[in-house]
Structure 1
Amino acid sequence: MPVTMPHDLPARAILESEKIFVMSAERAGRQDIRPMRIAILNLMPTKVATETQLLRLLSNTPLQIEITLLHMSSHVSQNTSAAHLEAFYSTFDEVADEHFDGLIITGAPIERLAFEDVDYWPEMTRVLDWTRTNVQSTLHVCWGAQAALYHHYGVGKFEVPKKISGVFSHRLTGAKSPVVTGFDEEFLAPHSRHTDVHAADVEATGAVDVLAISDEAGVFLAATPDGRQVFVTGHPEYDADTLSLEYARDVAQQAAVAAPAHYFPGDDPTAVPLNRWRGHGHLLYTNWLNYCVYQETPFDLA
C-alpha cells in the first residue's frame, strides 16, 4: 500500500527513486479502492496443498483480494476429487469473457513431456493468449514459466542430467525491476524440476529480463519490463516439508534418487528440514501484487 506524504518532504524523492509507492494527501483523498481479482490456474496434482501455499503468500498484504480457482477442462485430475473441483473451481471457458487484475499459473510435474504432447496444451495456449488482453499481470511458476516462455517467445527447455531439487543460493543480476524491491543480493529458494532454460535464450528475446539466477539451479526469476509477465522457475511457495515429501515419493518409485541439495540439516534425510526461504517468498508475491497488479491495473477492469 502507498505511503502518503507531503510533496516537498525530502524523503519523497529518494523513496520514489527506489520505486517506493508514495502519494500526496490530495491524491489519497481521491482514491477509489476495490478488491483485486486474482485467478489461480492450478495445474498441480496436489491441488489442496498448492491452494494453501499460494493463498498464504497472497494473504500477506493489506490488499483485499478475491480469488478465483481455475482448472483445465481438457484434463481429468487423478489426485483431486471431482467434488472438490465442482465446489471450488471454475473452468477457463467459464471465465474467458472476464477480466482479472492478476493470474497465477502454477507448475505441473510434466516437464519431461514436449509441450505439444501435454493433453491440455491447446487449452493452455488459449489461456496464455487470453492473458495478454484480459489480465493485467500474470505470474508463471515452474512448468508454467517454461510453458509461457516457450509459447510467447519461443524459448525452449532442455532436460538436465539430474533433477534440480533442493534449496539453492541465488543472486540478483542487476536488471532493474520493482519485482525484486527489498531483495537481498543473495537469497535462497527451492527448486524441483527435471528441465531448465538458458539465461541467454531468455535475454535473447529482447522482451524479458533475467532478474535472479543461481550457479547451480539456473534462472530463477525473470520478467518483462512492464511487469505484465513474471516468470519464476522455482517454488518459493513450498512449505518446509514439501521437498521432503517429494523425495519420499521419488524414492518409493525409484530407489536411486539423490536427496534434495542443501535442504536437510547436515544432508541427513532423516533430519527435519527448516524453511529458509519464507521471507523472500512472501516478498516476491507482495511485490508482484503491489507493483505489477495494484499500481498498474485500471479501476474499471472492463
Structure 2
Amino acid sequence: MIQNRKPQNLLQFKNEDFANIALQLCTKPKSLTFGRCLYTFEYQQQRYWLKTQSANIHPDIEAGFVQELNFYRQFLDQAKTVNFLLPFQIISHFKNAIETQGQGASALLLAHAEVFLGDCTLQSVQQIKQKILLLLDSIDQLHQLGWVHGDLKREHFVEYQKRACLIDFEQVENINSAQQQKNLTATPRYMAPELFHGADKTVQSDIYALGIILYEWLNGQRLTAENYQDWAYLHCQRLSIELPQHLRIFEKLLMGMLAKQNKQRFADIYAIKQLLLTENA
C-alpha cells in the first residue's frame, strides 16, 4: 500500500500497487508510434497520469523523456513544495500487464489536474487578471530556478489545488547552458520568430509562447496556418493583435510579449506582472 507520510510534492506508489489498478490508455495515435504511452487511472478516489517511453524506437522522443525525468529528479530531495509542479513520482522499473518490455521502463507519475485556461467569455477583467497572474507565477518560479520551459502551450498549464502548474518538461533547457539542444524544437504555433532562424530558446521565447497562449485565450480563436513555412510567415511578419473591445486593456500587455524582436519584449516575468498590476481596469 502507499505510505501515508510523504514529502510535499512527492507521490509514493510501489510497483505492486499497480497489480490491481486498471490503466486507461489515452495516448494520441502519433505518439504511440513513437513508443510513448500516457495512461490515466484512479486510486483511492484520486486520479493520476502515468507516462512511459519505450526504448529503441525514436531517439529524439526518448531523449525528450529522459530530459523530463532528469528535470524532475532535481526536486526529489527537496522538502519544500515547488508550487509550479504537480505532485509526482519517478518509477525506475515500471512493469505491469501492459508495460512488459525488457525489465520494465521508467515511468513518470503525476497527480491528475484539469486544464487551467477554460472559456473566459463570462469572466470579468479582474478575474482574467488573476488568472494571468497565476500563470505568470508558475513561469516566474521556473525561470528563477534557472530554466526555460521551451515548449509552452495552452494544455501545458493545468490547475491543481487552486494554483497554476506546468507539465511536459521534455524541451526544458537550463538558461545558463552553453550547449542547448538543437534537435528538439518547440511547437510552431507558439514559436518566437527568432526560433525559426535557429536561435536558442530563452526567457524571451517563453514569454512569446505565453503571449500566443493568452492571445488565443482572450480572443477566443486559434491562430491557423497550413504548414511550418506558413507558421514562420505568421510569427515573423503577419501577426497583429486585435482583441474584443472590452478586453483591449490587455493589448499593451500582449504587444510587449509578442514583439517580433526578442530584445523589444519584456525583459522578464516580473516586468509583465508590473504592467498587469498597474494597468487600470
TM-score range, shorter chain: under 0.3
* Normalised TM-score (structure 2): 0.25
Name whichever structure is richer in helix by fraction. 2
Pick 1 or 2: higher relative contact order, CA cutoff 8 A, min separation 6.
1
User: Which has a greater percent of strand?
Assistant: 1
Q: TM-score, normalised by structure 1?
A: 0.24
